[in-house]
Structure 1
Amino acid sequence: MNIQDILELIGKDANCNLVPKMNTNENKINLPDDLKYFYEKYESLELFSNKSYAIKISSLDELIPTNKKLFPEDDVIWEELEGDISNYWFLIASSEQLSQYISIDLSDRNFGYCYDSFLETHANPEDSAIIAKSFTELLERLYESGGYNWYWLEDFEPYGDAYDDFDIIVTSK
């Protein structure tokens, strides 16, 4: 399914709130094409706000580095994360009441990949599952889950971990 098709499907669902674009905020971040399309047309999206696993897709203004959201004033963690690949991960979705966050990678290495950024495991090697290889796939899978679970914790085989082979890539440059 492409981004237009999934957004059209979601837009027809009374359990979801797809908010049309109202402001003219300019995008100053290099975004994958599907995410760029989303922000050209929409402000944000709430999926299944009446269900246990409701989640909100960030507005363009809320698309901030995930580390800044989860560790706003923790100098110790910021020191530990200096130079870390998680510095290129941006908050694409959140369910704050469940401490569940999803990041999208805007680095050249995994541009557009989405990661499970649960508060307790965010930016931890071996706990940073790749849960989608594009924003479109993320939306499709979140929508298919119907707000009843986090699809990557059920019958889903992650695409690996965000930190897989990181040392090899870094040392080969």
Structure 2
Amino acid sequence: MPLNELLEEISRRHFPNPPASPQQIEDFERRAGWRLDPDLRAFYSRFDGARLFKRDDEIYRILPLSEIVRARVAILGKDSDEYGPASWYAICDTGDSDYVAVDASTMENGRYPLLDCFHETFMEAGSNKRIAHSFSDFLERALRSGGRPYWLKNDWALLPAPPS
């Protein structure tokens, strides 16, 4: 589904924040040291974060730019390479100190992949699985999930790298 249709659905059926200003986007990119990809830029230009499904939903709370930090900081409270990659940024709070993160070190087809960052296994090798090829892929799956973390279903297959 095209991203603009997903954003319209969020606007109509969910709980978005007002848009981030161009200055807020620029400030975030300067602070984080990476540029938003086209999906993320479109989302934050339209909404500076959102809650999907319920106002108090902690499964899909897409963070405002001001709350996006390295996943290791969000999960472990430590900003050191021994606590995880510096390029993973928590972008969606899924409750209980768990997050979905953007891997800002890897662009595929011009988009950043998203990862499941479960706090109990965050530092274990291979535990942070790719759950979406892009932010729009993540949004589409999230919006069809019925408010449940789609990547935890038994019948859901983890994603391989997309074809080049």
- Counterparts in 2 of 1:69 and 1:132: CA distance versus 1, 3 Å: same
CA positional deviation for 1:22? 5.5
Q: Is the 8 A contact 2:25 2:44 kept in 1?
A: no
Describe the superposition over 1:81-106 as per-residue Cα deviations: whole angstroms up to 9, x where unpaired: 4xx5x22011110033x332100111
Match of 1:80 among 76, 79, 82: 82
Describe the superposition over 1:33-79 as per-residue Cα deviations: whole angstroms up to 9, x where unpaired: 100111112111101226876320011111211111122248xxx35
Alignment pair present for 1:151 and 2:150: yes
Aligned length: 151
What are the residue-to-residue correspondences of 1:88-99 with 2, within 5 Å? 88-96=87-95, 98-99=96-97
Look up the match of 1:54: 59
Alignment pair present for 1:33 and 2:32: no
Percent identity over paired residues: 27
CA RMSD of aligned residues (A): 2.4
Alignment pair present for 1:65 and 2:70: yes
Runs of at least 5 residues in structure 1 that lack an aligned partner in the other structure: 162-173
What are the residue-to-residue correspondences of 1:63-142 with 2, within 5 Å? 63-73=68-78, 78=80, 80-81=82-83, 86-96=85-95, 98-108=96-106, 112-142=112-142
TM-score, normalised via structure 1 length: 0.76
Describe the superposition over 1:78-136 as per-residue Cα deviations: whole angstroms up to 9, x where unpaired: 3524xx5x22011110033x332100111136651000001112243221110000000
- Counterparts in 2 of 1:138 and 1:105: CA distance versus 1, 3 Å: same
- Distance in 2 (CA, whole Å) between partners of 1:123 and 1:31 is 25
The amino acid of 2:87's aligned partner reads Y
The amino acid of 1:131's aligned partner reads I
- Counterparts in 2 of 1:26 and 1:35: CA distance versus 1, 3 Å: closer
TM-score, normalised via structure 2 length: 0.80
In the TM superposition, structure 1's runs of 4+ consecutive aligned residues that sit over 2 Å from their partners are 49-54, 78-81, 108-111
Q: Is the 8 A contact 2:97 2:119 kept in 1?
A: yes
Runs of at least 5 residues in structure 2 that lack an aligned partner in the other structure: none
| 3-state SS, counterpart of residue 26 of structure 1 | helix
- Counterparts in 2 of 1:158 and 1:112: CA distance versus 1, 3 Å: same
Look up the match of 1:42: 47
